[in-house]
Amino acid sequence: MDEITLVNFKQKETFVESDKIKEIITRSVAYLNAGFPVHYRGPAGTGKTTLAMHLAHIFSQPTVIIFGSDEVRSTDFVGGQFGYRKRVVIDNYIHSVIKTDETAEQKWVDGRLVTACKDGYIVIYDEFSRSTPETNNILLSVLEEKVLELPINRDGETYIKVHPDFKAIFTSNPEKYAGVYNTQEALLDRMITINLEHWDRDTEVKITVSQTGLGLEDARKVVDIVRNYRKKVNGNISIRAAIMIGKVVNVLNIPILPENEMFIRVCEDILGGRGGADSADMSAVIQSRQQAAPASVEQIVRNVVPRMS
Ligand SMILES: Nc1ncnc2c1ncn2[C@@H]1O[C@H](COP(=O)(O)OP(=O)(O)OP(=O)(O)O)[C@@H](O)[C@H]1O
Ligand SMILES: [Mg+2]
């Protein structure tokens, strides 16, 4: 079994706190201080994980991160019997005799949730709705009765009381192709869900500046191209696209101008393959995008960014 990694989040220099973000952080801090878990829900790239990590930094408590998936088992939460010890006894007096105790000895190792509940850590459960409901059920009593039930084959206590400093921050993506299981009603009922959408223009510009080092004017152009394309395809074109365009422009050292062919091609590459399609008909969408997208991306760039002359 892996060792449990605790993280102490430092303030990220690139973290942007616009008024809208500040407001969400203030509410989130209040909810956690009142003893309720916070859940950020929103499409890909809306800043859920970034916000969760920033919150952990604000509380400056050791943090355990769990990434939801159907591979997560309840043993990851509560622990289990792992490995075995083999005792080797070397007899110093009679050199030729080495006794080996072949009896395998299993050892109980506490899982992440036990550690966090006992010692009062923060748990960030990223994309929790990707794990099976059976696995997540263990959280119900932790969040409500503040008690964690332990398996009977663990030595010592059969349950532990959750430490008062324990805090839980969840993230999830509601789009049906992203989550494998329906989010459990009972879990949702125990947490405070903040629905996130793509940020306002000003926040997106600030994030692009801070993540790419582009100047304000250039960041505005890139964000406007992305926002226009998002509106046009009515899909989930996230801030990641603006960050990508900005970083690539820096590497290539090209101007953000419609007469720069390379800039147009970069925008087409980065925006053309994105969209909010079901995985089932994805190939058809990609095919149609490959034909349709370049022209429209180019058009958007030309509409958004004025020519030099
Ligand atoms: N407040 C912020 N300040 C600076 N950068 C940010 C901020 N919010 C988001 N970002 C940047 O935007 C990108 C997307 O953010 P993040 O990974 O948190 O989104 P997400 O909602 O967790 O996405 P996914 O659902 O795909 O996991 C990242 O590159 C992140 O660094
Ligand atoms: Mg995330």
In CATH, what number is assigned to the domain containing residue 54? 3.40.50.300
Give the distance (Å) from ligand 2 centre to CA of residue 172: 8
Claim to verify: residue 45 and residue 155 sit in the same structural domain: yes
Mean pLDDT, rounded, for 5-9 = 83
Instruction: Confirm whether 43 is domain-assigned.
Output: yes
Please tell me the pTM assigned to this model. Answer: 0.85
45 CB near ligand 1 (under 6 Å): yes
Q: Look at residue 87 in the predicted model and tell me its pLDDT.
A: 53
Looking at residue 98, its pLDDT comes to 59
- Same domain? For 248 and 295 the reply is yes
**pLDDT at position 174, please?**
85
One domain, residues 287 and 217:
yes
**Residue 280 located in a structural domain:** yes
CA of 223 from ligand 1 middle (Å) equals 15
Q: Do 205 and 59 reside in the same domain of the chain?
A: no
Q: Which residues contact 13 (CB under 8 A, 6 or more apart)?
A: none
187 lines ligand 1 (CB under 6 A): no
When divided into structural domains, the chain yields a total of 3
Same domain, 89 and 238: no
Distance CA 133, CA 65 (A): 18
pLDDT at 2 over 70: no
Look at residue 1 and tell me if it is in a domain: no
Q: Are residues 73 and 142 in the same domain?
A: yes
- 210 Cα–ligand 1 center, Å: 12
Q: Hey, which of 207, 236, 270 would you mutate to test ligand 1's pocket, going by the most ligand atoms within 8 Å of its Cβ?
A: 207
Mean pLDDT score, 178-182: 62
Q: Is the pLDDT of residue 107 over 70?
A: yes
Which residue, by CA, sits nearest to atom 29 of ligand 1?
A: 240
102 shares a domain with 232: no
Instruction: Verify whether ligand 1 is closer than 6 Å to residue 15 (CB atom).
Output: yes
Residues 208, 219 contacting (CB under 8 angstroms)? yes
Q: Which domain holds residue 182?
A: 6-77+111-195
Measuring from atom 15 of ligand 1, which residue has the nearest CA? 47
Do 58 and 102 sit in the same domain of this protein?
no
| Same domain flag for 162 and 267 | no
283 or 192, which is more confident: 192
Q: What is the mean pLDDT of the chain?
A: 85
pLDDT digit string (tens) for 207-244? 999 999 999 999 999 999 999 999 988 888 999 999 99
Residues 169 and 235 in one domain: no
Residue 309 lies in a domain: no
Task: Say yes or no: CB of residue 247 within 6 Å of ligand 1.
Answer: no
pLDDT band at 283 (very low <50, low <70, confident <90, very high): very low
Confidence of residue 3 (pLDDT cuts 50, 70, 90): low
**Of the ranges 127-136, 146-155, 156-165, 194-203, the best mean pLDDT one:** 194-203
Statement to judge: residues 36 and 182 lie in one domain = yes
Asked whether the predicted pLDDT for residue 280 surpasses 90, the reply is no
Tell which of 167, 195, 223 closes a domain.
195
pLDDT > 70? residue 251: yes
DSSP H helices in the chain: 19-33, 48-59, 74-78, 112-119, 133-136, 138-144, 185-188, 201-212, 216-233, 239-252, 261-272, 282-304
Pick from 128, 160, 195: which residue ends a domain? 195
Cβ neighbours of 94 (radius 10 Å): 7
Domain assignment present for residue 140? The answer is: yes
Statement to judge: residues 227 and 251 lie in one domain: yes
